[in-house]
Amino acid sequence: MQSKREIGRSGIKITPLMLGGNVFGWTADEAASFAILDAFVDHGGDAIDTADVYSAWAPGHEGGESERVIGAWLKQSGKRNRVVIGTKVGMWPKRLGIKRENIIAACEDSLARLGIETIDLYWLHRDDEATAPEDYLSALDDLVKAGKVRAIGASNFKPGRFAEGLAESKKSGKARFDAQQPEYHLLNREIEAELMPLCVREGVSLLPYYGLASGYLTGKYRSADDKSKSIRGGRMDKYMEGKGPAVLAALDAISARHNATLAQVALAWIMAKPAIAAPIASATRVDQLVELMGALNVSLSADDVAELDRVSA
């Protein structure tokens, strides 16, 4: 089992695999969600990621479903003191954008749905590219000072705008981003150009999403016929038509050497990269969750990492 990693300079340390809560109350009903959450903690997991918008995109849903399910689990399980809870503001149509008033109101809403007094890691879900850093940071700083938020992060920010936020914190002394949540996996390595080096320089942790490329890197989508296996199948063409098959071949070989699954090796590759605190991955069944947690026991060699770097470049 890999040792815990600190999120930025926050003092918050987590096992380096964060559980994605986007499926809770959506493709995993409450009973399945509770079982997954219990199994996650039982297997050494301690950090859960959600957002106010989850799962507003689903028919008959309005948003807030994931937070409510997690809140119900926290109440039922009594495990609040064993987990780090992260949630987000800015992408839900009901609470769109990152202006001060919206952040404050959305935080109160999320606290109520989660049934907790403090959000451990509060994320700006998406940059509106209009709000000045001093505006959103003043709100986040007030939430930290009020004890409603412990640490802050930004998701889907371009490197330049993220750097502006860090510079404003340095100038003003307001709360500072400890984390950045971008897309990152073997088939999308864009952050290596600017964002990852920026985070290394500034002592900011990366907690990337889509670590398994919407399931492609599990190996279950190897032909056009496989696309019907899930609701994400339609996203697979871009991977199948590019370097995806070569990456799967490398994952096949490395997973065989380590007696691991492709998903475990793909996540272990992310864990081996600079500034990574934890990749985020979700599961809709307990057996999927147990497989994901197995990534924590995969120790890739420098040659393994280099091979995957080469085929995915």
Examine the residue annotation and report whether 54 is marked as an active-site residue of this protein: yes
Domain containing 144 — which CATH number? 3.20.20.100
Does the pLDDT value for residue 230 go beyond 70? no
Can you give the residue range of the structural domain that contains 123? 5-214+264-298
Number of structural domains the chain divides into:
1
Per-residue pLDDT, averaged over 194-207, amounts to 98
- Would you say how long the chain is, in residues? 313
Does the pLDDT value for residue 293 go beyond 70? yes
d(CA 46, CA 231): 28
Contact indicator for 67, 33 with CB cutoff of 8 Å = no
pLDDT for 307: 98
CA 29 to chain centre: 20
Give the DSSP per-residue string, 67-107.
HHHHHHHHHHH--GGG-EEEEEEB-SGGGBS--HHHHHHHH
pLDDT for 191: 98
* pTM (two decimals): 0.95
Q: Which tens digit of pLDDT belongs to each residue from 82-132?
A: 999 999 999 999 999 999 999 999 999 999 999 999 999 999 999 999 999
Say whether 177 sits in a helix, a strand or coil. strand
Q: Which tens digit of pLDDT belongs to each residue from 55-76?
A: 999 999 999 999 999 999 999 9
d(CA 148, CA 135): 18
Residue 303 lies in a domain: no
Residue 283 lies in a domain: yes
pLDDT for 1: 79
Place of tokens 């984390």: 179
pLDDT for 233: 58
Q: Which tens digit of pLDDT belongs to each residue from 15-61?
A: 999 999 999 999 999 999 999 999 999 999 999 999 999 999 999 99
d(CA 175, CA 50): 21
Residue 311 lies in a domain: no
Per-residue pLDDT, averaged over 261-271, amounts to 98
pLDDT for 228: 62
Q: Is the dihedral of CA 33, 38, 40, 41 positive or negative?
A: positive
Where are the extended beta strands (E) located within the chain? 5-6, 13-14, 18-20, 47-49, 84-89, 119-124, 149-155, 177-181, 205-206, 280-281
Q: Which tens digit of pLDDT belongs to each residue from 119-162?
A: 999 999 999 999 999 999 999 999 999 999 999 999 999 999 99
Residue 220 lies in a domain: no
The C-alpha R_g of the chain, in whole angstroms, comes to 19
pLDDT for 238: 83
Residue 34 lies in a domain: yes
Residue 293 lies in a domain: yes
Residue 309 lies in a domain: no
Q: What are the two backbone dihedrals, phi and then psi, of residue 157, each rounded to the nearest 5 degrees?
A: -90, 140
Residue 70 lies in a domain: yes
Does the pLDDT value for residue 224 go beyond 80? no
User: Count of alpha carbons within 13 Å of 53, Cβ hemisphere only?
Assistant: 14
Burial 228-260 (b: 16+ CB within 10 A, else e): eebeebebbeebbeeebeebbebbeebbeebeb
pLDDT for 240: 82
The bridge status of strand 47-49 relative to strand 18-20 is parallel
